[in-house]
């Protein structure tokens, strides 16, 4: 069975031409065949998955009627461990479901299993490889979710983003990643890293699936993609970090901008005000300061079970950021959001890089989140769309950023862009 999208599968299940059990069996078969190479799953119990599928078929209905979902392993599930890729939590089953997981189950989804995360969603990687080329990382920290969706294990998966951990791995794996407006998705049951920016995000292979999945997590009626939107006003924003992008990425963005303009989009270059050239530093100060404090229990009670990378990295850095520096960064972030809001007076969306380039070689380094962190700090919704491949044959994405609190519009204009990418 070709890997169906969630929307296709839901329609088939509603029509009675498919059952959740059949769909989940096909996913499990797919996983069994490719998992030795891809290693996307931190926890997968096929019997538990099938039991859920059978229950979903019996229950009938629900927005996600029997669709299997992958859950990043920093998100709680009452019937599966949440391991955080840390020996501290190995095998530990949480008390309850995270809000997003409970809302999926309320919508009659099947929680297929837990996808590999980097340690506490930081840098220390898991074993997952890029399905396009196993010699390359899938990115992180939502490594398993991106690989699982790319490789057809599940049509939908959760990721989280504090720096670039939804958009970047989605781009590296050639799937659609969506980071909503900060605050839209409830974070209960997701391990708290940086309370000022942590954002739950979604991965899928189609924008219709993202729209469906979004509705479930919001617990609001689905809003269909509007395919009648007119050509948008696009701001091509290279960002102050443009020189950190690979030749491939620069060429792709320039080509995309020209192509969309030729198809009727109004296109202008846009840059941040000079005051925000170093905004990445403010993101770094905030995430380091908050992260080391939210992880106080882990680093104080079990320092030997936290990777040296993390203990010596952002945990240590966070204690070196002074409170005054933190407050200054927070005030700058507020000003940055006002500035970014103002850009959307002239544009419907911004076109920006999804990542510096293709997925790096090896699995030790999950890639650089700089092209994502600025938007995570801006709290704006972002979508990465697959847009061809780089010189090594690995996926490249383009990122679209929309105004806050208008995510439905962003998804619809993203559909216009997707339809008009040559």
Partner 1 sequence: MLATGTQTGGSVIRPGAFCGIIAYKPSYGHFPPAGMKANTEWLDTIGAYARSIDDIALFRAALMAIPYRPIEKLEKPPRIAVCFTHHKDELSREGTKAVMDVATALRKAGASVIEMELPSPVRDMTAGQKTLSAFDGPRAAADEARRAYSLLSPSFQVDKIAAGRKIDYATWAAARKLGETGRAAVDAMFSDIDVILTAPAKGEAPRGLERTGDATFNLLWTYLWMPCVTMPFAKGPMGLPVGIQLVGRCHEDAALLDSAGWVQGALR
Considering the complex, state which of residue 19 and residue 330 has its C-beta at the smaller distance from partner 1: 330
Considering the complex, state which of residue 101 and residue 378 has its C-beta at the smaller distance from partner 1: 101
Active-site residue, from 5, 34, 165, 196: 165
Tell me the Ramachandran region of residue 39: left when phi exceeds 0, alpha when psi lies from -120 to 50, beta otherwise: left
Considering the complex, state which of residue 119 and residue 248 has its C-beta at the smaller distance from partner 1: 119
Beta strands 110-115; 266-269: pairing state: unpaired
Tell me the two tokens of residue 196.
């000022």
Considering the complex, state which of residue 217 and residue 349 has its C-beta at the smaller distance from partner 1: 217
Active-site residue, from 5, 34, 39, 72: 72
Considering the complex, state which of residue 186 and residue 420 has its C-beta at the smaller distance from partner 1: 186
273: nearest Cα among 326, 361, 341: 341
Spatial separation of the C-alpha atoms in residues 51 and 246, rounded to whole Å: 46
350: nearest Cα among 358, 339, 361, 360: 339
Least distance CB 223 / partner 1 (angstroms): 9
Least distance CB 329 / partner 1 (angstroms): 11
Binding positions for partner 1, rule: CB under 8 A:
78, 96-99, 101-103, 105-106, 181, 183, 186-189, 191-192, 195-196, 218-220, 290, 292-297, 319, 322-323, 327, 330-331, 334, 337, 405
Looking at the DSSP assignment, which residues form a beta bridge with residue 159?
A: 201
Least distance CB 97 / partner 1 (angstroms): 4
Least distance CB 61 / partner 1 (angstroms): 15
The answer to whether residue 72 is catalytic is yes
Active-site residue, from 5, 20, 141, 307: 141
Considering the complex, state which of residue 26 and residue 98 has its C-beta at the smaller distance from partner 1: 98
Least distance CB 229 / partner 1 (angstroms): 19
The answer to whether residue 141 is catalytic is yes
Across the beta sheet with 395-401, what order do the strands follow? 41-44, 110-115, 68-72, 156-161, 199-204, 176-179, 382-389, 395-401, 349-353, 233-236, 266-269
How would you class 108 by CB atoms within 10 Å of its CB: exposed for 0-12, middle for 13-18, buried for 19 or more? buried
Least distance CB 401 / partner 1 (angstroms): 17
95 phi/psi in degrees, rounded to 5: -65, -40
Q: What is the DSSP string of 68-104?
A: EEEEETTB-BTTB---TTSTTTTTPPPSS--HHHHHH
Spatial separation of the C-alpha atoms in residues 332 and 358, rounded to whole Å: 31
Spatial separation of the C-alpha atoms in residues 365 and 183, rounded to whole Å: 29
Active site residues: 72, 141, 165
């Amino acid at each position: 069975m070709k890997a169906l999208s969630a929307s296709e599968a839901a329609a088939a299940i509603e029509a009675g031409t498919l059952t959740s059990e059949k769909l989940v069996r096909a996913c499990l078969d797919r996983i069994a065949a490719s998992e030795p190479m891809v290693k996307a799953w931190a926890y997968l119990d096929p019997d538990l998955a099938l039991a859920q599928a059978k229950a979903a078929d019996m229950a009938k209905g629900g927005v996600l009627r029997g669709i299997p979902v992958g859950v990043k392993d920093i998100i709680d599930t009452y019937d599966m461990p949440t391991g955080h890729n840390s020996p501290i939590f190995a095998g530990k089953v949480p008390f309850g479901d995270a809000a997003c997981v409970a809302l999926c189950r309320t919508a009659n989804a099947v929680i297929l299993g837990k996808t590999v995360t980097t340690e506490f969603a930081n840098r220390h990687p898991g074993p997952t490889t890029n399905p396009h080329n196993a010699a390359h990382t899938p990115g992180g920290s939502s490594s398993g979710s991106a690989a699982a969706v790319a490789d057809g294990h599940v049509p939908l998966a959760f990721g989280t983003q504090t720096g670039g951990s939804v958009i970047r791995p989605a781009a590296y794996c050639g799937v659609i990643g969506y980071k909503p407006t900060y605050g839209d998705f409830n974070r209960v049951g997701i391990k708290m890293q940086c309370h000022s920016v942590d954002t739950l995000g979604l991965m899928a292979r189609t924008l219709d699936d993202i729209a469906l999945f979004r509705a479930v997590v919001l617990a609001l009626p689905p809003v269909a993609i509007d395919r009648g939107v007119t050509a948008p006003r696009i701001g091509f924003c290279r960002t102050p970090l443009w020189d950190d992008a690979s030749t491939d990425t620069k060429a792709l963005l320039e080509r995309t901008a020209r192509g969309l303009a030729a198809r009727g989009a109004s296109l202008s270059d846009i840059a941040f005000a000079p005051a925000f050239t170093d905004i990445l530093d403010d993101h770094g100060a905030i995430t380091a300061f908050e992260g080391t404090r939210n992880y106080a229990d882990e680093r104080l009670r079990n320092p030997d079970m936290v990777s040296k990378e993390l203990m010596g990295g952002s945990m240590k850095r966070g204690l070196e950021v002074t409170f005054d520096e933190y407050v200054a960064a927070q005030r700058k972030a507020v000003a940055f959001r006002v500035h970014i809001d103002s850009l959307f007076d002239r544009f419907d969306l911004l076109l920006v890089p999804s990542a510096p380039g293709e997925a790096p070689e090896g699995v030790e380094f999950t890639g650089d989140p700089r092209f994502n962190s600025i938007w995570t700090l801006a709290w704006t919704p972002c979508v990465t769309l697959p847009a061809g491949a780089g010189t090594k044959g690995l996926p490249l994405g383009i990122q679209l950023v929309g105004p806050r609190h208008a995510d439905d519009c962003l998804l619809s204009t993203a559909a216009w862009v997707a339809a008009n990418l040559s």
